[in-house]
């Protein structure tokens, strides 16, 4: 982990979580306030239906909230979509954009992801911009070039002035229980850092790079200790307060 950057652990609940799941937020809040003070910023990205409740429950324990996606336009005739300003109005401070599931399921391009990140910044949110390669791309030796292309296309120029977060999630590791080797993670995060510094000489060293993809209590300490890993984007393990707290405590 790059020690000069305060780490961030974000939980992506995806399409999970009815109102009853708010009990897990309450449990997590209790763990964070009664146990050892966390050494990382803690963010939960729940479904939009319970976002405001997560903001309220987390307010006294330091849990921050984020959206899972936002539209590339500020407002308009976009039935079923949610704007960045709506997320901010509900209390969010972060928003995930360009997650591989959005890219795959909805055909989102780098240009669209960039536009969403720009909207997020304009609304005062901090975008968590996701990048990552498929298994076929890694097997063919294209992993770093694919991620580099995604960074170029997805990260707005405003990242040189405003806070953004990069989340590297190898697509083949998401939800599969498989993870890259520590050497693979080290090389990829170093490559991402190099590109950020090259493009943003003044701020590139301070941009957080999160690791995601089957990050769980059993491997969190080892992965989060890797240089240039400045936290994690956690999927399934963030749904249970005790598991998520274990990952937070691994920082």
Active-site residue list: 99, 169
Residue 234: name the closest of 188, 186, 179, 197 by CA: 179
Question: Going by C-beta distance under 8 Å and a sequence separation of 6 or more, which residues neighbour residue 34?
Answer: none
| Segments making up each domain of the chain, as ranges | 1-66+155-163+177-251, 69-91+99-124
Range 13-16, long-range pairs (CB < 8 A, 24+ positions): 13/44, 13/45, 13/46, 13/47, 13/68, 13/238, 13/239, 14/68, 14/101, 14/235, 15/47, 16/47, 16/239
Distance CA 101, CA 113 (A): 12
28-46 pLDDT per residue, tens: 999 999 978 889 999 999 9
Strand partners, 246: none
SS3 2: coil
Q: For the whole prediction, is pTM greater than 0.85?
A: yes
As a whole number, the mean pLDDT across the chain is 96
Q: Does domain 1-66+155-163+177-251 have CATH number 3.40.50.2300?
A: no
Distance CA 155, CA 168 (A): 13
Instruction: Say if residue 2's pLDDT is above 70.
Output: no
Q: What is the DSSP string of 33-100?
A: HHSSPPSSEEEEE--GGGHHHHHHHHTTTTEEEEES---SSSSSS-TT---HHHHHHHT--EEEES-H
Residue 12: name the closest of 88, 57, 68 by CA: 68
151-198 pLDDT per residue, tens: 999 999 999 999 999 999 999 998 888 889 999 999 999 999 999 999
pLDDT range class, residue 3, cuts 50, 70, 90 = low
92-121 pLDDT per residue, tens: 999 999 999 999 999 999 999 999 999 999
């Amino acid at each position: 982990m790059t020690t000069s950057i305060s780490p961030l652990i974000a939980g992506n609940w995806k399409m999970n979580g009815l109102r009853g799941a708010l009990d897990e937020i309450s449990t997590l809040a209790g763990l964070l306030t009664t146990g050892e003070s966390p050494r990382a910023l803690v963010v939960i990205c729940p479904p939009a239906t319970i976002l405001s409740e997560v903001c309220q429950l987390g307010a006294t324990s330091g849990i921050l909230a984020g959206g899972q996606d936002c539209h590339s336009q500020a407002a308009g005739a976009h039935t079923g979509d949610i704007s960045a300003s709506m997320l901010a109005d509900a209390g969010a401070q972060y928003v995930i954009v360009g997650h591989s599931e959005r890219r795959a399921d909805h055909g989102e391009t780098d240009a669209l992801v960039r536009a969403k990140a720009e909207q997020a910044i304009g609304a005062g949110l901090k975008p968590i911009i996701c990048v990552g390669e498929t298994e076929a791309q890694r097997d063919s030796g294209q992993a770093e070039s694919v991620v580099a292309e995604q960074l170029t296309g997805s990260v707005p120029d405003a990242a040189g002035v405003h806070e953004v977060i990069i989340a590297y999630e190898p697509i083949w590791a998401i939800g599969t229980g498989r993870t890259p080797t520590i050497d693979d993670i080290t090389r990829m995060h170093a490559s991402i850092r190099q590109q950020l510094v090259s493009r943003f000489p003044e701020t590139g060293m301070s941009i957080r790079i999160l690791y995601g993809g089957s990050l769980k209590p059993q491997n969190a300490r080892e992965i989060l200790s890797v240089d240039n890993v400045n936290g994690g984007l956690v999927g399934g393990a963030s749904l249970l307060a005790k598991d998520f707290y274990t990952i937070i405590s691994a920082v």
